[in-house]
Every structure is written in C-alpha cells, then in structure tokens.
Amino acid sequence: MTERILINEVGLRDGLQNQPSILSTDQKLALFHTLRAAGIRDFEATSFVSPKHVPQLADAAEFLRLLPQDRSLRYTCLIPNERGYERALAAGATGIAVVLSATEGLNQKNIGMSLVQATEVCERVVRRAKDEGLFARAYIAAAFACPFEGLTPPRVLFELLDRMRTAGADELAIADTIGAANPRQVKDVFQEAINRYDDSHVAAHFHDTRGLGTALAWTAAEAGVRRFDSSIAGLGGCPFAPGASGNVATEDLVFMFNDVGFETGIDFNALLAAVGTAATMLQAARGGHIVPWARSRPQAAE
C-alpha cells in the first residue's frame, strides 16, 4: 500500500508575510483556488498578527471568512498571542497555530516576549483552543539554529515540544526557520521526535536558504515524518529573523515525493499553474529548483 505524505501549504501566510508587494484579498483568493485545484487540502491561511507590523496580512479576518467551508479542507491561522486568538475566533477560525521560538533572542525580536513568557502564552492559547474545539498546532521555531544565538541544543527543543504536547497540541511542527540545518541533525532530531510523539503528531517545516530544503525533507521522510510544510514558488521568510529566506517550494516537495512513489494527492503539473499565478502577482516568485526543468518539457503546463 502506498504511503501518504501530507503537504500543508503555507504560502498564503508564510509566503506572503515578507513580500514587498501587498496582495489584495481577491488576489489571495485567486492564488488559493489555483492551489486547491492542484489538490492541496491543508492550508495555513493567514495570521492574526498586528497589521502595523505585518501589513501583508491585514485582511486576515476577511480572507478567512471568504474561504470555502468544505470539510475536506483544513485551515489553520497563525496566532502570536491571546489577543490574536480572540480575533481568529471571532473570524470563525477552526484551527490555530502558535509559534514558539526556541531561543530568547528570536522570541524578543519576533513577538516581544521572553522565552518564559512566550512559552506560557503558547500553552494558554493551545489549552484554550482545545477546550473550545479547535485544531491546535505548535511550531518550535529556530529548532536547529537561531540567527541571534547560534545552534539550538536539542535538549531545549524537546523540552519545548514536550510542553506544547502536554498543553494539548495536535501537531508539533519542528521549524528550521533560517535554513541552517544539515541532514545529520535532521535525522537525529526527527527520529527522536517520531519515537516520542509518533508520526501523526510531528511535522517538518524547512527553509531553502542554503539550497538543502528538499534534501532535508527527504531525510525527515526517511526518519518517518509524513507531514510537511511548504510554500508555492518557494515564497517566504520571517521578517524578524535575518537569513530566513524562502520556504522549501511546494512544487519541489510534491515532485520528489510523487516521483519516489509516495501519495500526495497533488497534481504536479497543476502546481506549475499555481507557480505561474504567484509569479504574475509577485515579481519575486521565481519558483522552486524543479521549475526550469519542468517548464522545458513539451507537456509542461503553462
């Protein structure tokens, strides 16, 4: 029986939050529909952050309300704090994600809290989400390295993962926020994570800063991970983390996993149309490593 890989598309949030161009709500909906047409069913749709700090996502409530209410689709919204959670709940969110950086420095830069404060806030939001019937995801950012403090000790990472899981998080996303990990680190961390929490609770979130995103994803898959974040056309990057360039491209992961025999439920050629839509809207959207080759084929989608 073919094993399934779940792709969580984060381009609508992580991909757009750092772009100099601000897409209209209608443009975001058009991009969403091209991704859905390709077979993507899991989306990190937006973030209820301060519009002053991240104007690209100022339409979070409106955009979320306009998305199709289809039980086959899963939407999560990134939540920076309890106020953000209240806004998401008022907008009808059914799934949330909290982000907890593994270091003091990145928490201060990202959300203006200490590591202790941020951990406590994330625990409260996750517990409340579960009490109120929402799906809850917890990111541990800078899981391998921090732009301000260097390498992240695995001990610290797993202490935070344990706390988020104890709080009730349905899914734990281990995030290589600045693309600093190497395959050996990824193998060790994800094997331990799968042993502790099993594959239904562990997700991988990679950035392609050094061109290793796909290799790291494959290493995580070999360790047993079956849930991956990615961003169409490789868009992304954290505005508060120097060196956090684009996420691993959805089209790169889908091509790789489809090609080796995993089932993603996503049509690679249809994804090329989504890459084209993103490129039209955002001049910086060049696409993943696979795109030049894919475009050169006579049968490639335009």
Q: What is the pLDDT of residues 46-92, one digit of tens each?
A: 999 999 989 999 999 999 999 999 999 999 999 999 999 999 999 99
What pLDDT, on the 0 to 100 scale, is given for residue 298? 75
CA distance 192 to 169: 18
Lowest mean pLDDT: which of 103-107, 140-144, 297-301? 297-301
Q: What number of CA atoms fall less than 13 Å from residue 56's CA on the CB side?
A: 23
CA distance 182 to 165: 25
CA distance 184 to 207: 16
77, 122, 146, 238: the active-site residue: 238
122 is catalytic: no
DSSP state letter for 246: P
What pLDDT, on the 0 to 100 scale, is given for residue 238? 64
Q: What is the pLDDT of residues 198-212, one digit of tens each?
A: 999 999 999 999 999
b/e map 1-39, b = 16+ CB within 10 Å = eeeebbbbbbbbbbbbbbbeeebeeebbeebbebbbebe
Three-class secondary structure of residue 159 per DSSP: helix
In CATH, which superfamily holds the domain spanning 6-296? Aldolase class I (3.20.20.70)
Instruction: Please determine, for residue 302, whether its predicted confidence score (pLDDT) is greater than 50.
Output: no
Q: How confident is the model at residue 246 (pLDDT cuts 50, 70, 90)?
A: confident
Average pLDDT of span 270-284: 91
The predicted model scores a pTM of 0.94
What pLDDT, on the 0 to 100 scale, is given for residue 93? 98
Strand partners, 79: 98
Instruction: Please determine, for residue 236, whether its predicted confidence score (pLDDT) is greater than 90.
Output: no
What pLDDT, on the 0 to 100 scale, is given for residue 243? 57
The H or E element spanning position 40 is none
Lowest mean pLDDT: which of 65-69, 111-115, 149-153, 176-180? 111-115
Domain boundaries, the chain: 6-296
What pLDDT, on the 0 to 100 scale, is given for residue 112? 83
The residue to which tokens 């598309």 are assigned:
9
Whether residue 138 contacts residue 125, with contact meaning beta carbons closer than 8 Å, is answered with no
What pLDDT, on the 0 to 100 scale, is given for residue 262? 98
